[in-house]
Amino acid sequence: MAYFKVAFGFLVTAFLSAAVSLAHPGLGFGWGGVGAPGGQSGAPSYGLFPQFYQFSCHQAEDIVMSVLEKAIAKEPRMAASLLRLHFHDCFVQGCDASILLDNSATIVSEKNSLPNRNSVRGFEVIDEIKARLEEACPQTVSCADILAMAARGSTVLSGGPSWELPLGRRDSKTASLSTSNNNIPPPNSTLQNLITLFQRQGLDEVDLVALSGQPIVPRGHTIGVARCATFKQRLYNQNGNNLPDQTLERTYYSGLKSVCPKSGGDNNISPLDFGSPVKFDNLYFKLILWGKGLLNSDEVLLTGNVGNTMELVKAYAKDENLFFKQFAKSMIKMGNISPLTGFNGEVRKNCRLVN
């Protein structure tokens, strides 16, 4: 009889262990690393895979999409904002939802960094997604994975590509204001500066140009808008000589001046892609070729004379399918930047607060 109790106990333990490993892969199996050596994780992270919530919260992606559909139908620009949140999160401490943390006794929020202040948005949409997921699957789906799913869903709902999304990220217990200030490229970046900042994250110049097709200031602009403050220098004092950037097409330049005066108006907005500002397409790259890239960090992809960025801009302008395929690959790669997995980090109950 004792033998059968032991055997039964072993089987129950084995079953529970298998269930846990399926619901939370990486726990206790030597997975759950934090990206590639030195934190440069363009390489795959083996704690992440698309079926992560198959058993623990199979409805997770449906819940995310249902909230996104309503939010983007109400305000199409929200798609751009959510994509940008994912980018600004991953480039700081890795894709760990640190950008969502509010100020507290132990946290200095990244929301107050120069690239984010009065600029990043979409937090209320993430809050709604998290609340719905907590009702369905309490403390199971991480805020970091919500950001990744929202970025993909926003792309799809704007007419862009989809991709198989690795999941299993956990949430940080820290934020870094200084890293947010230093790692997110400013809108007046030189091409070499952009390449260096992307390489710091394990991303190459192909990723740089492809990810410029997402609506993240200063990078990427197939959908979305930019504040006057981010492009004013190009209109009035590009090279410190009180003259405009000579690469701007003249009619386009005149239109921008009407939106963005020399004095004041810093929060006035202009479409990053005036032809289709809420549609995900390759017109952004065509605009660069026509001298109608809005930000300096757009224009230097064509004129920066470093690497192969000019050829990539021309290729994506010519072939939208090529751009879509590379954008999806580069989004997966960016989403693998230094994730917390296994026993690292936590799954927050509220995305704005550490548990």
22-52 pLDDT, tens per residue?
Answer: 444 434 333 333 333 333 344 444 589 999 9
Q: Which domains does the chain have, with CATH numbers?
A: 59-224+272-336 (1.10.520.10)
Helices (H), the chain: 2-23, 60-74, 78-93, 123-136, 143-157, 177-183, 191-199, 205-211, 232-236, 250-259, 283-289, 296-303, 309-318, 320-335
Longest dimension (CA), the chain: 92
Of 24, 58, 86, 88, catalytic: 88
Question: Residue 291's pLDDT band (boundaries 50, 70, 90)?
Answer: confident
Residue 177 burial (CB count, 10 A): 19
Residue 88 bears catalytic tag: yes
User: Is residue 94 a known part of a binding site?
Assistant: yes
Q: What is the pLDDT of residue 137?
A: 97
Helix, coil or strand: residue 164: coil
User: Is residue 92 a known part of a binding site?
Assistant: yes
Burial class (CB in 10 A: 0-12, 13-18, 19+), 256: buried
Q: Which residues contact 282 (CB under 8 A, 6 or more apart)?
A: 213, 222, 316, 317, 319, 320, 323, 324
Q: What is the pLDDT of residue 108?
A: 97
Contact, 248 vs 234, CB < 8 A?
yes
User: Is residue 273 a known part of a binding site?
Assistant: yes
Distance CA 132, CA 134 (A): 5
User: Is residue 245 a known part of a binding site?
Assistant: no
As given in the structure block, the two tokens for residue 212 are 């410029």
- What is the pLDDT averaged over residues 329-354? 96
Q: What is the pLDDT of residue 136?
A: 98
> Is residue 271 within a helix (H) or strand (E), and if so which, with residue range?
strand 269-271
Of 114, 113, 111, 112, the C-alpha closest to 126 is 111
Contact, 85 vs 71, CB < 8 A?
no
**33 φ/ψ sector (left φ>0, alpha ψ -120 to 50, else beta):** beta
Q: Which residues contact 227 (CB under 8 A, 6 or more apart)?
A: 119, 217, 266, 267, 268, 269
Q: Which residues contact 40 (CB under 8 A, 6 or more apart)?
A: 200, 201, 202
Q: Does residue 221 carry a pLDDT above 60?
A: no
User: Mean pLDDT, the chain, as a whole number?
Assistant: 81
User: Is residue 281 a known part of a binding site?
Assistant: yes
Contact, 222 vs 281, CB < 8 A?
yes
pLDDT digits (tens, 9 = 90+) for 116-172: 988 899 999 999 999 999 999 999 999 999 999 999 999 999 999 999 999 999 999
Q: What is the pLDDT of residue 128?
A: 98
Q: Long-range CB contacts (< 8 A, 24+ apart) of 70-78?
A: 71/125, 71/128, 72/154, 72/157, 72/158, 76/158, 76/223, 76/278, 77/223, 77/224, 77/225, 77/277, 77/278, 78/121, 78/122, 78/125, 78/154
Distance CA 129, CA 147 (A): 10
